[in-house]
Amino acid sequence: MDRAEVRTLSAGVNQQGVRQHNERLILSMIQRNGAMPGSDLARMAGLSPQTVSVILRGLETDGFIERGDPQRGRVGKPSIPMALAADGAYSIGLKIGRRSADLVLSDFLGNIRHQVQTTYRYPMPDTIFGFLKAGLAAIRETLSPDSAHRIAGIGIAKPFEIWNWHDTIGAPADRLAVWRDIDFEAEVARFSNLPVYIENDATAACRAEHIYGRGREFRDFAYFFVGSFIGGGIVLNNSVFEGHSGNAGAFGSLPSRGPDGSDRQLIDLASLYLLEAELDAAGIEPARLWAQPQDWSGFPQILERWIEKTAQHLARAALTVCAVIDFEAVLIDGGFPPMVRSRLVQRTAEALDKLDTRGLFIPRIEAGAVGGNARALGAATAPIFSQFLLNTHGGLSA
């Protein structure tokens, strides 16, 4: 991406005692814009060249950034771009889903270095934490002692109120009720001393898109992630907005209208569990939806019907959220193959063109770029973001 297309971060401060803020600012700028020389960082951050030079030396010594090849300009000494070091920090991400759980090891650049998955009829704490414990041990075996020491923490992306899924996924209510009293930090502390960060799964997916996907292109956007249950997230002023309870962008709860005219929620009209049910009714094994690598080529008519219905509801939902906040774009991603995502985005944009949009700015309907791993990668992003990057990107300018 051309650097001119990337929104720039706000200025830093030179006052004594705020080095940590400035370090995070420099790391955030490099993460957002790619490798940059110190002179550009100083100009964009509003810091003195001497301040930036000291920060860069410290970050390089600590292994968080590395030097690129010198770039010779028209005059003067060649500039040396500084980039994030992929091995500078690692993070663990756990996504708890309705039918499967994913565990990933992510590096400082958001590359997934290791991934394991487990599937189940419905999630239970013993299964999830046993999977995490075994997965952590397997991940550590792939790392050197120094790299293992650089793991920043464990991010866990979980749906809101797991215990309320029983009707939809066919799980016994009394079994899922055990999740009400689960202390995630205490459970993980039984086998790991890494810090734990808990986040809504759709918000985590939104954060992954914001940091590693197309978030560089838009100042404000609404994000829909179509998983077993649809969810979403909000980016305002180049920052993921979590809300008072951490559940902002709970688009699955948006009111909508069912085929029979009854009032329904979006979660019951535009989720993958509906496709799963249609496959099951047609005698097609629905577990193939979650198998990796994904191959959804065996049921084109059922898939096309699901895409058409889902697109209609996504278009109305997109218009609804843009009536509240003037989003630049609405991004759509999900736990499906790229071909399905492209088709769903196309049909949603077409459906939006047919709606009554008087008095509203029509947002761009765009495809997300991260894909099915967005929730797990977003979970892994939480420790990195908390410890190394700015917690807000407020004050950005074009």
CA nearest to 55, candidates 76, 82, 78:
82
Residue whose pair of structure tokens reads 């720039």 in the numeric block: 8
Ordered domains of the chain (ranges, CATH): 3-84 (1.10.10.10), 89-203+377-383 (3.30.420.40), 214-369 (3.30.420.40)
pLDDT in the model for residue 74: 56
Over the chain, what is the mean pLDDT? 89
- pLDDT tens readout for residues 309-344: 999 999 999 999 999 999 999 999 999 999 999 999
How far apart are alpha carbons 210 and 199 in whole angstroms? 15
Q: Would you call the peptide bond into 255 cis, given omega within 30 degrees of 0 as the criterion?
A: no
pTM strictly above 0.85: yes
pLDDT in the model for residue 131: 98
pLDDT in the model for residue 209: 96
Q: Which residues make Cβ contacts (< 8 Å) with residue 288, sequence separation at least 6?
A: 279, 295, 296, 298
Label each residue of 242-308 as H, E or C.
CCCCCCCCCHHHCEEECCCCCEEEHHHCCCHHHHHHHHHHCCCCHHHHCCCCCCCCCCHHHHHHHHH
Beta-carbon neighbour count of residue 258 at 10 Å?
12
Beta-carbon neighbour count of residue 218 at 10 Å?
22
User: Average pLDDT by consecutive 10-residue portion of the chain (398 residues)?
Assistant: 48 49 93 93 94 95 93 72 96 93 96 93 92 96 94 94 73 84 95 94 94 91 94 92 81 89 92 94 91 89 97 96 94 96 98 94 94 95 91 41
Token pair belonging to 123: 């999630």
